[in-house]
Structures are given as C-alpha cells and as structure tokens.
Amino acid sequence: MLAIDGPGGSGKGTVCRLAAAALGWHLLDSGALYRAVAVYAQDQGVDAEDAQALTRLAQSLPVEFVAAEDDTRVMLSGRDVTLDLRSETTGNAASRVAAIPEVRDALLGRQRAFRQSPGLVADGRDMGTVIFPDAQVKIFLTASAGERARRRYKQLLEKGIDANIDRLYSEISERDRRDQERAVAPLKPAPDARLIDTTAMTIEEVVTQVLGIVGDTIGNRRES
Ligand code: DC
C-alpha cells in the first residue's frame, strides 16, 4: 500500500488518482470525508463549534463514493455533493472539523476499511503517521505556499469560479498552520516517508517518481 500525505495544493489529489489508476489499486481520498462532515453539518444546521454534534455526524456519515466514467462521485444521503466538497468554503470548514480528535476517531475505521486487495493508494494528512503506519511506501509531497496558491487559483478559474490569489495565499497559509499545529494527527511527514518537493515539477514528473519508488520498494509483488 502507498500512503501519500502533504498540504493542499501539493498535487497530492491528482497524483494519487493517477498512481491508483496506473497500479490498478483502490483510492482513498480521506480529505473528502472531512469535507463531507463539514457539508453534512451545514445541511443539518449543526454549529461548526459544536464538537459533540459534529462527532455524532461523523459517526453516522451517510457518505458513498461511486465510481463514474470520468471520476468518482461523492454522494451524501443520496445527493451528489462532489462539487460542493471542492469549494474553498468547504475546505476551510473541513480543516476546522478535522482538528476535533473525536471526529478523527469516528472516521478511523471507515478509512482503514478501504485497504483491500490488490492494494490502496491513500491520500491525506496522516495516512503514513496514524491511519496506515505500516504502509509499505510513504511519500510526503510539498510545494511552496506561493506555488500552491497559484495552482489553486488556476484550478478555480478553469472551473469558472472567481478567485483572488492573495486571499487564496492567506487561506492556504492559515490552513497549513491549523493542520500542522493541531494536537491530534498534525500534518507532518512520517519518519520513514520519502519527501518530494513538487514546486518545480509537473504532475507527470511527480507520478513517474512516485511509481518509481513503489516499483523499487514493492516490485511486482502482489500486495494489499
Ligand atoms: O485534502 P483536502 O484539502 O481535501 O482536506 C481538507 C481538510 O481536511 C484539510 O484542511 C485537512 C483535513 N484533513 C485531515 O485533517 N486529515 C486527512 N487525512 C485529510 C484531510
């Protein structure tokens, strides 16, 4: 199994999707679970500060990942929330929800259940440190905050969403700080993770390097 951690905008999501497709392995987008809790809380009118209520929502989260032709669709209580999950507002709310230890506990089993044959690519912040500490391959992707803000800006414009690069930069920096400084499962590389700085790399270059590391470590052995 391959655990990839790193901050938002490091290219993690795309790299994980392409690596999982190339390897023929399952994919866990753990950030989508925290984002789904944030959207569910908003739907249910639960206050973003109410840790107990948020934990109950995380425990009973009616989320489903459905494979579609182009991508995976995320369904919440049967409603397609794929687009809602990707917004900056949801990302910021997810970062707050993710700082609550009981919410993280509530999502633990659900994440581990993704580990199935023939293998799993897990995308998150604590995949290599907390959720899958025994993963055979651990990679930590980084990129400078300025580059990550530029990438996010480009992505949003491509989707036709208006964006302000200075605001994105300060939101990214704020989210980094919150994710790195929280008491439980902070964003940090596992001691045995390989670090890749993607600032000056294309997605293709990163994927090639990641698949190279998997090949060197696991070779052609079948594994789960
Ligand atoms: O990767 P993402 O942007 O979809 O994640 C959204 C938020 O969820 C992010 O700010 C941090 C949190 N998160 C986390 O704490 N642990 C994970 N394994 C994945 C995401």
Higher pLDDT pick, 171 / 207: 207
Given this model, what pLDDT does residue 222 score? 52
Q: Is 30 in the pocket of ligand 1 (CB under 6 A)?
A: yes
Given this model, what pLDDT does residue 86 score? 87
Can you tell me the mean pLDDT for 91-114? 95
Given this model, what pLDDT does residue 9 score? 83
7-41 pLDDT, tens digit per residue, is: 988 889 999 999 999 999 999 999 999 999 999 99
Q: Which atom of ligand 1 is nearest to the CA of 179?
A: 11
Given this model, what pLDDT does residue 87 score? 85
3-state secondary structure of 77: coil
Give the residue whose CA is nearest to atom 13 of ligand 1: 31
Determine which helix (DSSP H) or strand (DSSP E) holds 105, and give its type and residue range: helix 101-106
Using CA atoms, how far residue 97 sits from 9, 57, 104, 176, in Å, is 19, 11, 9, 14
Q: Residue 156 pLDDT more than 90? A: no
Q: Is 152 in the pocket of ligand 1 (CB under 6 A)?
A: no
Q: Where are the domains of the chain?
A: 2-218
User: Any residues with CB less than 8 A from the CB of 7 and at least 6 apart, and which?
Assistant: 125, 142, 143, 148, 172, 175, 176, 179, 187
CB 84 within 8 A of CB 39: yes
What's CA 110's distance to the chain center, in Å?
14
Can you tell me the mean pLDDT for 202-219? 94
Instruction: For residue 182, report the distance from its CA to the centre of ligand 1, in Å.
Output: 12
Q: How many helices (H) and strands (E) does the chain have?
A: 10, 8
Q: Is 182 in the pocket of ligand 1 (CB under 6 A)?
A: no
Instruction: For residue 124, report the distance from its CA to the centre of ligand 1, in Å.
Output: 6
Query: How many other C-beta atoms can be found within 10 angstroms of the C-beta atom of residue 185?
Result: 20
How far is 220 from 151, CA to CA, in rounded Å?
34
Reported confidence tier of residue 93, pLDDT bands at 50, 70, 90: very high
3-state secondary structure of 4: strand
> Residues of the chain with pLDDT > 90: what percent?
76
User: Any residues with CB less than 8 A from the CB of 111 and at least 6 apart, and which?
Assistant: 28, 30, 33, 122, 124, 131
Give the residue whose CA is nearest to atom 20 of ligand 1: 31
Instruction: For residue 32, report the distance from its CA to the centre of ligand 1, in Å.
Output: 7
Given this model, what pLDDT does residue 202 score? 94
Can you tell me the mean pLDDT for 211-219? 92
- What fold characterizes domain 2-218? Rossmann fold (3.40.50)
Instruction: For residue 11, report the distance from its CA to the centre of ligand 1, in Å.
Output: 13
Higher pLDDT pick, 116 / 218: 116
pLDDT, averaged across the chain? 93
How far is 18 from 5, CA to CA, in rounded Å?
15
Given this model, what pLDDT does residue 220 score? 55
